[in-house]
Amino acid sequence: MKRRIGLSLAFSLLAALALAAQPDQAGAQAFPSKPVKFIVPFPAGGINDVLARIAAEKLQVKWGQPIIIEQKTGAGGNIGADLAAQAEPDGHTLFVSAPGPLAINQNLYKKLSYKPEDFVPITVLGSVPNVTIVKKELPVNSLKELVEYIKGNPGKVVYGSQGNGATPHLTANMFMAMTGTNMVHVPYRGETLVLQDILGGHVDLFFGNVSAGLALWRDGKIKVLAVLDKKRSAQMADVPTTAEAGMPDLVSVGWFAVAGPPKMAPALRDQIARDFIEVLKMPDVVAKYRALSVDTGGGTPAETAAFIKEEARIWGDVIKKNNIVVE
């Protein structure tokens, strides 16, 4: 009898150990078991891509797996978002995006092939204020002069953006509504392409982020008229805020978030969030982000979800008030 009880206990212990050794149903213990892919819906070289790569450099060491940055551009980020939305929710494909696909496009496009609200928010990589960038040849040196120039040349001033519904596009609409001006919009696939055409003289204005125009501004190749935030940028300390320039309500801050495909398990989401947050606190990562005028993020999944929801409300109001629709 004692031998039978002993065998029974032994088998029970072995079964328990075998069960414990298996990955849990949420898949957290199994991650990562192969290379991880970051889908970035905007071109290489842009701030979205750069921030993703800085984080990826640290995470691939921590995870012991290579991280592949895959650009899937076009349609205001919808092409990349659609691909990410179809991925397996096992953590090996993550979506790293600017606001458009996560908080804007559902209010902008009549029909999407994915549902932004179905993505699983993980954390915010960072945020960066937008600035008013104009080509060097434009005969203006302040926001006031810019407004006067546009009014004196109705329908002739061209502004660029990373695409319909991108933050610079919506910011330009905010600006036009506030000032009673009218400009021509030319959408591009990414910020670097906009800046190339500003340098080439084909685009007059771009409400891009500080990071995008920093090097060109320092080299005197473009002019920056104002920072669209409540505080000045440390990297552009001589540039006034919109409030200082007489337009306190013109505030526009870009951000970049990480999200998982729909139906990602909470345990896996939380594990990935913890790893991102740990990386975003590393001094050298903070330093690299700050060099780009980016404030590191690192909020919890719950905080990130609430933040994206509020951003969707804010930009949704801008879209409705300006009757902006993309077919």
CA–CA distance, 109 with 154 (Å, rounded to integer): 27
* Per-residue model confidence as pLDDT tens digits over 189-208: 888 899 999 999 999 999 99
Q: How far apart are the first and last CA of the chain?
A: 78
- What is the token pair recorded at 309? 């929801």
Residue 163 pLDDT: 80
233 within 8 A of 244, measured Cβ to Cβ: no
Write the Ramachandran bin of 246: left for phi over 0, alpha for psi from -120 to 50, otherwise beta.
Answer: left
CA–CA distance, 279 with 319 (Å, rounded to integer): 35
CA–CA distance, 4 with 285 (Å, rounded to integer): 59
CA–CA distance, 210 with 126 (Å, rounded to integer): 13
- What is the token pair recorded at 116? 């932004």
| Residue 235 phi, psi (nearest 5) | -80, -20
CA–CA distance, 203 with 95 (Å, rounded to integer): 30
CA–CA distance, 205 with 157 (Å, rounded to integer): 8
* Per-residue model confidence as pLDDT tens digits over 270-308: 999 999 999 999 999 999 999 888 999 999 999 999 999
Average pLDDT for 94-101: 95
Kindly give, in sequence order, each residue whose CB lies less than 8 Å from that of residue 278, ignoring residues fewer than 6 positions away: 62
Going along the chain from its start, the domains and CATH numbers come out as 36-128+254-321 (3.40.190.150), 131-236 (3.40.190.10)
* Of 274 and 1, the one with more pLDDT: 274
* Per-residue model confidence as pLDDT tens digits over 250-269: 999 999 999 999 999 999 99
CB atoms within 10 A of CB 54: 22
- What is the token pair recorded at 125? 């990589």
* Per-residue model confidence as pLDDT tens digits over 52-72: 999 999 999 999 999 999 999
Residue type, 107: N
For residue 22, pLDDT beyond 50: no
2 within 8 A of 33, measured Cβ to Cβ: no
- β-pair type (222-227, 131-135): antiparallel
For residue 20, pLDDT beyond 80: no
- What is the token pair recorded at 176? 């036009």
Residue 327 pLDDT: 65
Chain centre to alpha carbon of residue 77: 10
Residue type, 264: M
CA–CA distance, 171 with 136 (Å, rounded to integer): 21
Kindly give, in sequence order, each residue whose CB lies less than 8 Å from that of residue 105, ignoring residues fewer than 6 positions away: 76, 77, 78, 81, 112, 116, 165
292 within 8 A of 212, measured Cβ to Cβ: no
For residue 102, pLDDT beyond 90: yes
For residue 323, pLDDT beyond 90: no
Chain centre to alpha carbon of residue 229: 17
CA–CA distance, 220 with 197 (Å, rounded to integer): 16
Share of the chain above pLDDT 90, in %: 78
Q: In angstroms, what CA-CA distances link 308 with 100, 205, 244, 303, 305?
A: 11, 27, 28, 9, 5
Average pLDDT for 137-160: 97
Q: Within 13 Å of residue 263, how many CA atoms lie on the same side as its CB?
A: 7
The dihedral sign for the CA sequence 15, 17, 23, 25: positive
Residue type, 285: V
Average pLDDT for 206-211: 93
